[in-house]
Structure 1
Amino acid sequence: MNKTVGFLVLVFSFIACKEDKLPDANVIVNKSIEVSGGERFQHSNIAFDFRDRHYEAIRDNGYFLLTRTTINESDTIVDALDSQGDLTRFINGKRIVLHDTMALKYKSSVNAVHYFSVLPYRLNDAAVNKMYLGKTTVNDSEYHKIRVTFDKEGGGEDFDDVFVYWININTYKADYIAYSYAETDEIGYRFREAYNERFIDGIRFVDYNNYKPRTNVDGVEIMDRLFQQGQLELLSKIELKNILVN
């Protein structure tokens, strides 16, 4: 009898463990990428304007070329970042030799704008690590909450940044994003609220309300709670204009 009871306890414990198993963050992110454009990202030419600069991205099955064009009085400045990680600057069509520190600065800024423009695409890069944090509610909608970090190898200059994505459990769209970043000797925090969703040639684009905390923050994971408590201040709007997709 005791053996039977013990066996049943093991069976029910096994079933309970299966039921309590957390969802796979990779599966959720894959679904989010799929509803946002999926394979269309892999072979695409995307162009848009952001804050008086023009951006273009050519992607072809792993290869990419990301450019930023700035018109400065009579000069046309083009910064081009390729999939090998090399940043090249051209002024009026002439290649300019950059010091390493400036090349890293331009590389980071070009990559950041293009990275945010097509989120959640690239969350399956080799250097990306994803962790499921659980379900939560933001503005009466339920979300999967996923933490994203990056390996030092292949994670870029800002590999130590930490992101959190709130992916709607019904639509699988990433409606909120928060991240921490190095700011001199401190850690800075931002929270972005997606709006103005539109699909262009099957690829989802959104704009963002960009918030910063009013008070000190102890970890990027609590930014959704601060948002709902009114503890975030609107810093800027991230708006992509004149989007073209081929």
Structure 2
Amino acid sequence: MKKHFIIVTVILLIAVGCKDFQKDDKNASQIEKSAQELSNENTQSIVNEAIKAHGGTLYDSAHYQFVFRDKLYSFENKNGFTYKVSSKDSLGNQIEDFLQDGKLARTVNNELVELSKKDIAKYSEALNSVIYFATLPHKLNDKAVQKEAIGETIIKGEDYDVVKVTFGKVGGGKDYDDVFMYWINKKSHYINYLAYSYSVNEGGVRFRSAYNPRTIDGIRFQDYINWEAPVGTPLKELPAMFEKGQLKELSRIETKDIQNLNASEVVE
């Protein structure tokens, strides 16, 4: 009888111990999840403040055009989006690409032309990329965007939040595996610096510093100096290299003759 009592007691102690372990494990999971949720909320707050500072809800109905590298671009956000680019080829033909809610069409001298799947992807990506950078940070809340606040840093004496961005395969474009990093000023909430690494064409690393900011009817536009760093350079190291003059200037990303088509006022 005594032996049976001891066995039963041991079994009960083990059972209670297992329940306590499961309870502790559950609590640990809840704490971990809460920490992740707080991190996500912090990231979202940083990005939301940046979007607000650059134009906020004005992006939702924005209709602008601008010139970039001798081509005329426009974007209209109304019940979806419509992007356009117009240019002339060496023979004087007028070429226009229209990207409406992800579907591309091309006309040559106002005549619709048929494109291969490869060309559709190529021209869509090119047009989307120009509008994406011209309207930063408007698209940073898209479904394909995966963002994470990874810390803080100081650049030229000012405090910045650092946000890392990657893209999901669905909706992230053909270069969805590119990695971006944005430095968002903690006081103004402007994106003054950004960087990205890519793997196509043997890969590369770029750092961009903003200059010539203009706020046109409530929306901020910026030009950028495009800097090159050695392939494989960690993005987080680029600001320090930039301050030390260790990056090579490649090009300038300039938007000119910006016009709010809702107001029809040209700003140089």
What is the rounded CA distance, in whole Å, between the counterparts of 1:86 and 1:157 in structure 2? 15
What is the rounded CA distance, in whole Å, between the counterparts of 2:248 and 2:233 in structure 1? 17
Counterpart residue number, 1:9: none
What is the rounded CA distance, in whole Å, between the counterparts of 1:222 and 1:153 in structure 2? 30
1:53 positional shift: 0.3
Counterpart residue number, 1:209: 225
- Aligned residue for 1:159, secondary structure, equals coil
What is the rounded CA distance, in whole Å, between the counterparts of 1:158 and 1:217 in structure 2? 17
Which whole-Å deviations, capped at 9, do the CAs of 1:85-141 have from their partners, x for residues lacking one? 211110001111111111111111111100000100110001111111111011111
Any runs of at least 4 consecutive aligned residues in structure 1 with deviations exceeding 6 A, and if so which? none
Which whole-Å deviations, capped at 9, do the CAs of 1:15-35 have from their partners, x for residues lacking one? xx99xx767111010001001
Which whole-Å deviations, capped at 9, do the CAs of 1:166-195 have from their partners, x for residues lacking one? 0000000000010112232x3211111001
Counterpart residue number, 2:48: 30
1:216 positional shift: 3.9
Counterpart residue number, 2:28: none
What is the rounded CA distance, in whole Å, between the counterparts of 2:152 and 2:166 in structure 1? 19
Counterpart residue number, 1:127: 144
- Gaps in structure 1 of 5+ consecutive residues: 1-13
Residues 141-220 of structure 1 aligned to structure 2 (within 5 Å): 141-184=158-201, 186-213=202-229, 215-220=230-235
What is the rounded CA distance, in whole Å, between the counterparts of 1:203 and 1:173 in structure 2? 12
Instruction: Give the letter for the 1:111 counterpart.
Output: N
- Aligned residue for 2:176, secondary structure, equals coil
Q: 2:157 aligns with which of 134, 140, 152?
A: 140
What is the rounded CA distance, in whole Å, between the counterparts of 2:92 and 2:149 in structure 1? 50
Counterpart residue number, 2:123: 106
What is the rounded CA distance, in whole Å, between the counterparts of 1:152 and 1:205 in structure 2? 29
Q: 1:49 aligns with which of 62, 67, 70?
A: 67
TM-score of the superposed pair, with normalisation by structure 1: 0.87
TM-score of the superposed pair, with normalisation by structure 2: 0.80
What is the rounded CA distance, in whole Å, between the counterparts of 1:40 and 1:115 in structure 2? 16
Number of residues paired by the alignment? 225
Between structures 1 and 2, the one with greater helix share:
2
Q: Contact (CA 8 Å) 2:150, 2:163: kept in 1 or not?
A: yes
1:212 positional shift: 0.6
Q: Could you tell me the percent identity over the aligned residues?
A: 39
1:157 positional shift: 1.5
Counterpart residue number, 2:241: 226
What is the rounded CA distance, in whole Å, between the counterparts of 1:218 and 1:175 in structure 2? 20
What is the rounded CA distance, in whole Å, between the counterparts of 1:187 and 1:220 in structure 2? 13
Instruction: Give the letter for the 1:113 counterpart.
Output: V
RMSD: 1.7
- Aligned residue for 2:50, secondary structure, equals helix
Larger Rg: 2
- Gaps in structure 2 of 5+ consecutive residues: 1-30, 263-268
Between structures 1 and 2, the one with greater strand share:
1
What is the rounded CA distance, in whole Å, between the counterparts of 1:220 and 1:236 in structure 2? 19
Q: Contact (CA 8 Å) 2:205, 2:231: kept in 1 or not?
A: no
More displaced 10-residue stretch of structure 1: 217-226 or 151-160: 217-226
Instruction: Give the letter for the 1:240 counterpart.
Output: T
Q: Contact (CA 8 Å) 2:183, 2:194: kept in 1 or not?
A: yes
What is the rounded CA distance, in whole Å, between the counterparts of 1:234 and 1:135 in structure 2? 25
